């Protein structure tokens, strides 16, 4: 018997709580299955270190409602020429900075066309600012129960955040560095990967390279797999772009690793991610590959879970875009 897509989603929605609770006692923790610490702090990143191959300039922006303050760090090659440079915009800027080190920056700076690196984060020392990114990175309102079982309404700020990038961040970056507007890339992981896809769907000319790592297609009961994707697939007429969809092998088979099922936050999250099948990103890449003008690459990282995919996917992105050594396997050992 073949189940419909909607039926498969309902079945998968039961797996996180039923299957995982039954099997977690026998799961051995590994680098591919670490739980994220939402309060993890950052310090001594490349922004604070002595400039060797890149110099970093910083500016801040406030949201109109005063609820969020963004911090943008712009990495400019010290030996860059006057020719326009490619540029990589990275979401979760603090976490992205933790992936970088001086040898990697030196390798990037040595490229013939060394990229400008733009880290879009929040003005705090959190590695991941979950409440802020939940608002900014999601184009759909999500109505779900929180860890206390109380109904919540969150998200839906992606279009405003797209405007912020186009109207405020990009112009400020271009005031500081000479940018090749035909070589602009956007990378994001998890909800950030979802933002990359919604930007592709609604503003396909904003970037030439879209890199979506472990996109949270389960958001809002699988809403990203609905009308917005369908309208893009039906109405996109040859706008050229290169798209990477990246996914951890453990993610694709629904292996959530060792989780603390006594933590209400974990239980609530596992309940929510049943909104899409674990292999939804792989299937999405197949649909996107049929769109005229898109060059689509799907890459799966053997054995990796969701958390380590942030580091691995960013390292892979730097290699694919700029030809530096692919350190994604080294990065997979990081949380």
Catalytic annotation, residues: 190, 251, 306
Q: Number of C-alpha atoms within 13 angstroms, CB side, residue 243?
A: 32
* Residue 115 to residue 113: CA distance in whole angstroms: 6
CA distance 229 to 232: 5
Give SS3 for 201.
helix
Based on its alpha-carbon atoms, the radius of gyration of the chain, rounded to whole angstroms, reads: 19
Contacts of 176 (CB under 8 A, 6+ apart): 57, 74, 76
Question: What are the counts of helices (DSSP H) followed by strands (DSSP E) for the chain?
Answer: 14, 10
Q: For the sheet with 179-189, list strands across it.
A: 54-62, 69-77, 116-122, 85-90, 179-189, 209-213, 241-248, 294-301
To 10 degrees, what angle do helices 227-235 and 191-202 make? Answer: 40
Handedness of CA 66, 92, 272, 212 (dihedral sign): positive
Token pair 């000479």: residue: 178
Q: Would you give the DSSP letter of residue 81?
A: -
DSSP state of 166: I
Which runs of E-coded beta strand occur in 1-103?
54-62, 69-77, 85-90
């Amino acid at each position: 018997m073949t189940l419909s897509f909607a039926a498969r989603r309902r079945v998968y929605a039961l797996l996180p709580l039923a299957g995982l609770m039954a099997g977690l006692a026998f799961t051995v923790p590994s680098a591919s299955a670490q739980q994220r610490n939402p309060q993890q702090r950052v310090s001594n990143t490349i922004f604070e270190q002595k400039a060797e191959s890149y110099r970093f300039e910083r500016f801040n922006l406030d949201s109109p409602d005063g609820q969020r303050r963004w911090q943008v760090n712009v990495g400019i090659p010290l030996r860059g020429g006057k020719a326009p440079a490619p540029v990589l915009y990275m979401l979760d800027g603090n976490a992205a900075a933790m992936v970088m080190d001086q040898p990697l920056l030196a390798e990037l700076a040595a490229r013939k066309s060394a990229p400008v690196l733009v880290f879009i984060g929040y003005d705090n020392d959190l590695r991941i600012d979950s409440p802020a990114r939940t608002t900014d990175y999601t184009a759909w309102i999500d109505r779900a129960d929180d860890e206390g079982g109380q109904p919540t309404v969150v998200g839906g700020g992606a279009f405003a955040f797209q405007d912020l990038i186009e109207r405020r961040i990009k112009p400020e970056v271009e005031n500081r560095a000479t940018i090749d507007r035909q070589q602009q890339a956007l990378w994001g992981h998890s909800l950030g990967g979802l933002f990359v896809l919604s930007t592709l769907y609604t503003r396909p000319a904003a970037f030439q390279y879209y890199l979506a790592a472990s996109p949270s297609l389960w958001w809002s009961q699988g809403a990203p797999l609905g009308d917005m994707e369908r309208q893009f697939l039906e109405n996109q007429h040859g706008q050229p772009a290169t798209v990477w969809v990246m996914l951890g092998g453990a993610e694709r088979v629904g292996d959530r690793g060792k989780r603390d099922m006594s933590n209400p936050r974990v239980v609530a999250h596992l309940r929510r991610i049943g909104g899409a099948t674990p292999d939804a990103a792989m299937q999405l890449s197949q649909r996107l590959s049929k769109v005229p003008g898109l060059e689509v690459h799907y890459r799966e990282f053997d054995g990796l879970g969701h958390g380590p995919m942030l580091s691995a996917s960013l390292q892979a992105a730097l290699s694919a875009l700029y030809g530096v050594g692919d350190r994604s396997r080294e990065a997979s050992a990081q949380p």
